[in-house]
Amino acid sequence: MTSKEVLEYAKKNDVRQLDLRFTDLPGLQQHLSYPITQLDEDSFEEGFGIDGSSIRGWAAINESDMLLIPDPETAIIDPFTEVRTLVMLADVIDPITRQHYDRDPRWIAKKAEMYLQNSGLADIAYFGAEPEFFIFDNISFDQNQHSGYYYIDAEEGRWNSGRKRDNLGYRPRYKEGYFPVPPTDHYQDLRAEMVETMIRCGLKIECHHHEVATGGQCEIDQKFDTLVKSADNVMLYKYIIRNVAYQYGKTVTFMPKPIFGDNGSGMHVHQSLWKNGAPLFAGDGYAGLSQMALWYLGGLLHHARALSAIIAPTTNSYKRLVPGYEAPVNLAYSRRNRSAACRIPMYSASPKSKRVEFRPPDPSANPYLAFAAQMMAGLDGIINKIEPGEPLDKDIYDLSPEDLKSVPSMPGSLGEALNCLEDDHDFLLKGDVFTDELLETFILYKQKAEVDAVRLRPHPYEFALYYDI
């Protein structure tokens, strides 16, 4: 919609409130609300003033004045509010220079799209993400000077099979949730409600299903879209899933590894480049890929260790990215083989469906930064003609330790990943898509607020290991 159409839409639908949303550096969506009378055509130029000093990873208090400029193309009616509310995403603008704010993740994603178009290599990058999530019935956690714990409960969790009362059974075994019918799958109706709400909000959904883990792990797949639009869609996807679950008395987490001893949640990212309406990744090379696609793969694999800080950006991410378990930590590529970090799906022979799938990312990532960084790595591979090496069509988990020595792997911790990003980030700076200042801020925030914060606190399992030492 245009700005004028948004105003007409709001009037026609008796909208009473305006909600503007933006995303902070770690990837949490923020919002401010106004009476709808505050919105007029000038608002789409002049914006709405906010204080950005308390937003994580943003400006210091002496440079905190910001403007939110509504994007009319993102307008929807919020499906959850009692008072009719119009929602729009907003771009963050410096009120003095009237320039986009360099720490606004959505602006970084837009710059990535502009860099692609200016490169002449392609004009569109399509991204399709598959964020997995858990549905729990109760979550409690605390950490203080003398105690630390978390407690998860899910009616569907296999650990409840021995409960003496109010127990009807039918729970997925550990690592066997992919994918039995109801009643073992407890959440068919809940996911269907999520999907229906997504469709009403304009998302295009392809399928939904239970995932591998017990305790309510699920996945809902969206249709691919352009880079920025796909990131927008991930944020809306998360909002809808959390709120539908909340209405059902459930709680959802996109935390990568909340349950010990079962699968974690990934966010596999499918990606392809197009130019003048034609797909560029289809060819006569390995798995039907073009030379451009193979170089793109080479860039992803070459920069994967640096990318890890952005696409798996939490200390918990590395509880999932563990060698020998379910997540693809080994940096290789293969057709069909899901144990490789890069997979070439083979569902269709159509050139339009030819794409690469990068499997290490998880849903704790900020999608604007994660999609932009992956594309920048792939483009660097094309520009510098980085070969991905030989494909690995064996099951990587069955390789001998000697064979595995020749296969590079993802970092083993967030601290290691941040070091990798610090050492290898020039590819992100091209076209001023990312800036040194932004990356320094990101690394410092992650190091102090997450890596150091976790490292300073005793872990509950340390008491089991060391109390009597």
Find out whether 75 and 7 touch, Cβ atoms under 8 Å: no
From the candidates 113, 219, 262, 450, which is the catalytic residue?
A: 219
First to last CA, the chain: 66
What is the reported pLDDT for 57?
82
Q: What are phi and psi of 2, to 5 degrees?
A: -85, 170
Q: Measured between alpha carbons, how far is 14 from 121 in angstroms, rounded to an integer?
A: 46
Task: Write down the catalytic residue from 211, 232, 362, 450.
Answer: 211
Q: Return the C-alpha torsion angle 31, 32, 35, 41, nearest 10.
A: -80
How many CB atoms are located within 10 Å of the residue 70 CB?
A: 23
Cα–Cα dist 373/58, whole Å? 19
- The first and second tokens of residue 413, run together, are 């911790």
Tokens of 21: 């949303």
Q: Given this model, what pLDDT does residue 327 score?
A: 73
- Are residues 417 and 442 in contact, defined by beta-carbon separation less than 8 angstroms? no
Query: Is 357 marked active-site?
Result: yes
SS3 category, 351: helix
Tell me which of 191, 268, 343, 425 is the catalytic residue.
268
Q: Is 303 a catalytic residue?
A: no
45 is catalytic: no
What pLDDT does residue 338 have? Answer: 67
Q: Tell me, what's the pLDDT at 392?
A: 81
Query: For the chain, percent helix, then strand, then coil, each to nearest 5?
Result: 35, 20, 40
Which parts of the chain register pLDDT below 70?
A: 59-63, 325-326, 336-338, 395-399
Strand partners, 107: none
Quick one: pLDDT at residue 330?
Answer: 86
Residue 8 falls in the annotated catalytic set: no
Residue 359 annotated in active site: yes
Choosing from 46, 51, 432, 436, which is the catalytic residue? 51
Identify the active-site residue in 155, 359, 362, 425: 359
Which pLDDT score is estimated for 269? 97
> Which has the closest alpha carbon to 62: 96, 33, 36, 34?
96
Query: Mind giving me the DSSP string for 230-285?
Result: HHHHHHHHHHHHHHHHHHTT-EEE--S--STTS----EEEEEEEEETTEESSBSSS
Would you call 40 a catalytic residue per the annotation?
Answer: no
In the set 71, 130, 232, 362, the catalytic residue is 130
Q: What is the pLDDT of residues 105-152, one digit of tens each?
A: 999 999 999 999 999 999 999 999 999 999 999 999 999 999 999 999
> Of the residues 24, 357, 362, 450, which is catalytic?
357
- Residue 440 is a catalytic residue: no
The reply to whether 130 belongs to the active site is yes
Q: Is 31 a catalytic residue?
A: no
From the list 98, 173, 336, 338, the catalytic residue is 338
Selected catalytic residue, list 113, 132, 225, 262? 132
